[in-house]
Structure 1
């Protein structure tokens, strides 16, 4: 009896599979009905050459199918029409794309350099900025992998060319996971930068602003991760809504993405200007001031990528063909996640360079300063003719060991901050 039931179940699955395959390879009945009603002598079913050579007939047929058939029947009709008329399908983008792989390699290099610097006692030792960037890096790698899985599920192709239709549902599930992880990853990378800045700048106003930015970035990550997770009610419409078979409510996803992009660009701009302004105020040699400021200015690359991302997104706003329309947005999102990790790890890499190749950052120089007491005796014209000068060595490479940006070392052995 059990064997009989098992055989029946297998046969049922095979019948359903064959029926699905057959439905994917044949025009839906509603499409054939539209074809016969609209065209008598030059239809897709009776005179393929005449139909395909016409510019208006295919559009008219697809409009009729869109109004009278289901979404999946419309996609099937469009795919089979293009096959019948010898219209080449859009090729899938490469699974391994240099434009996303190279940023991943760079991010991994600078991340490993940061871990090495921290393990070697450089760059100020371990802190919360390191723990947050570790999580951010892991999420960045996961986003890269998800992007590859999405491409293998038809990402970057026309949605009607993806068969079977279950693959489209799989694509939307992967996209949902990537969207949520992206919001959290970007916020963690920026929080890591803010936590790092709190370790080196002590100005009260600066610290207040840094804490505010940490709160804003945390709110952005949590809010938009929540919005992406529940943008449709019931939530299954997030990956099944493309079929238009169930009723429910979904937010305007285009507006949500646009607002998130603009908010991130604004926060990025503030995050770049804050440390650069503080560095400009420091009394440092011009070369050292420039190298330190440049390290933070490199972070503007992330803002530039965010601007490119929002422009590309706006120019490729999608309709029903979301597997193709979403591709530019996700492509630049993957790049942005890797660049965010790289920018956050640059200071630790600078510490390694400062230890092993100090000449690249200005090296060690010697300067002579007159003490206030010597200047007083020199100007007073008193009985004493003492004119004392003290030679100092300005050490720019000991930041990681003494936890100070610039320290003055008295050549007589005293340490002066």
Structure 2
């Protein structure tokens, strides 16, 4: 009945008729504005806490006291996220989001279409930055030439894919203002749009596939890390937290049933706006999770520090000038220096062929810290756990010589 009314009559007449019918039939007035405000406030607060904690730790408490490329990326994303939240709270919701279109006037509907168009572009920018941030984080963990090439290809894909859909969204209607003037009820308004519904589904499906790729890619590298199996399980769980974003993306896809093909956009698009917000916020929080463990170790070292980490700390206390040597896969014939933040120890050295460093070697700190770059000098290092045992219990010097380039 409603669809027939909106197809047969001009928009103003259809909205007035539906409003009158609903009033005479005593249909309930639906309004989910308060519900969206609450969810927006909770999600926004969690994101701000997560990002501020991450950036403060990396800037003031990490080994390098500096921000990396992934930190600047997430800072840019957080700025856009705050802008998006303000548009939703102060413009989109007052324009009718979460209410039936026939309870509004034409002016409100036109404003809603304007702000919804703006939110589409902001969403695409945000989700692109989130995936780039995760890719840059993995680049700081895995030194292998093959995996780094794949990760850089992944970054390039996210940039190209994101920009392509942003441009598609900007120019999806001709003229551009037809995105919102098509709701003004003026018969003289002319224009056309591409199949927005189909392009929205395409973006969602490709986005889910990209999320699965970002989860699978680091998991394939875990077997190459010289870690105890328990630490590998912990690292796998950390990487798989990205699955939360994938789940949110699937829920967002489910809400696409009425996207761009609805006579009640202010009500039917409420789910799309909600799940898009949840997806972006979950992605931003997941980008900050690797830093949380390091923060907890700083605050409660006895509770959250691993046994191996405590052993290394005791070795450090007994020799204040000792530095741990971290071995790496040879990346180039010039033996370039690479930097990493290993959870609090500054070390300096060159790339060397990968060697067995014991079940709790330095790589696990890299996985957890996801960090920055410092130089490593092989001649100065912190003794490994087995060497600490020899020095303290057998009073013999370690026989292993540092790796030289």
Q: TM-score normalised by the shorter chain: which range applies?
A: 0.7 to 0.9
1:296 corresponds to which of 216, 222, 239: 239
Scaled by the length of structure 2, what TM-score is found? 0.74
Stretch moving more, 224-233 or 244-253: 244-253
- Matched with 2:49 is 109
1:85 equivalent to 2:50? Answer no
Deviation per CA, 1:88-123, whole angstroms, max 9, x where unpaired?
332243165444433322222211111111112427
1:214 equivalent to 2:155? Answer yes
1:150 equivalent to 2:92? Answer yes
- Matched with 1:306 is 249
Deviation per CA, 1:353-382, whole angstroms, max 9, x where unpaired?
344434425232659xxxxxxxxxxxxxxx
Describe the shift of the 1:96–1:416 C-alpha distance in structure 2 as closer, same or farther (beyond 3 A). Answer: farther
Describe the shift of the 1:158–1:354 C-alpha distance in structure 2 as closer, same or farther (beyond 3 A). Answer: same
- Matched with 2:126 is 185
Deviation per CA, 1:55-105, whole angstroms, max 9, x where unpaired?
xxxx49x947852x4211111121122223333332243165444433322
Name the structure with the higher helix share: 1
- Matched with 2:353 is none
**Higher alpha-carbon Rg:** 1
2:73 corresponds to which of 128, 132, 145: 132
2:225 corresponds to which of 261, 282, 287: 282
Q: Measure the CA separation in 2 of the matches of 1:392 and 1:280.
A: 12
Residues paired across the two proteins, number: 333
Describe the shift of the 1:297–1:392 C-alpha distance in structure 2 as closer, same or farther (beyond 3 A). Answer: closer
- Matched with 1:353 is 296
Q: Measure the CA separation in 2 of the matches of 1:133 and 1:219.
A: 19
1:70 equivalent to 2:70? Answer no
1:261 corresponds to which of 204, 221, 224: 204
What SS does the corresponding residue of 1:200 show, helix, strand or coil? coil
- Matched with 2:102 is 160
Name the structure with the higher strand share: 1
- Matched with 1:250 is 193
Describe the shift of the 1:143–1:280 C-alpha distance in structure 2 as closer, same or farther (beyond 3 A). Answer: farther
2:107–2:184 Cα contact (<8 Å) kept? no
Q: Measure the CA separation in 2 of the matches of 1:407 and 1:288.
A: 21
Give the aligned CA root-mean-square deviation in angstroms: 3.1
1:299–1:343 Cα contact (<8 Å) kept? yes
2:68–2:372 Cα contact (<8 Å) kept? no
Cα deviation for residue 275 of structure 1 reads 1.4
Cα deviation for residue 300 of structure 1 reads 0.7
Stretch moving more, 238-247 or 169-178: 238-247
Q: Measure the CA separation in 2 of the matches of 1:123 and 1:342.
A: 22
Q: Measure the CA separation in 1 of the matches of 2:262 and 2:114.
A: 18
What SS does the corresponding residue of 1:94 show, helix, strand or coil? helix
What SS does the corresponding residue of 2:199 show, helix, strand or coil? helix
1:185–1:337 Cα contact (<8 Å) kept? yes
Q: Measure the CA separation in 1 of the matches of 2:190 and 2:382.
A: 67
Q: Measure the CA separation in 1 of the matches of 2:359 and 2:270.
A: 58
1:329 corresponds to which of 272, 275, 278: 272
What SS does the corresponding residue of 2:221 show, helix, strand or coil? helix
What SS does the corresponding residue of 1:155 show, helix, strand or coil? coil
Q: Measure the CA separation in 2 of the matches of 1:71 and 1:249.
A: 17
Stretch moving more, 220-229 or 100-109: 100-109
Scaled by the length of structure 1, what TM-score is found? 0.72
- Matched with 2:315 is none
2:125–2:162 Cα contact (<8 Å) kept? yes
Describe the shift of the 1:215–1:407 C-alpha distance in structure 2 as closer, same or farther (beyond 3 A). Answer: farther
Q: Measure the CA separation in 2 of the matches of 1:342 and 1:404.
A: 30
Q: Measure the CA separation in 2 of the matches of 1:267 and 1:254.
A: 20
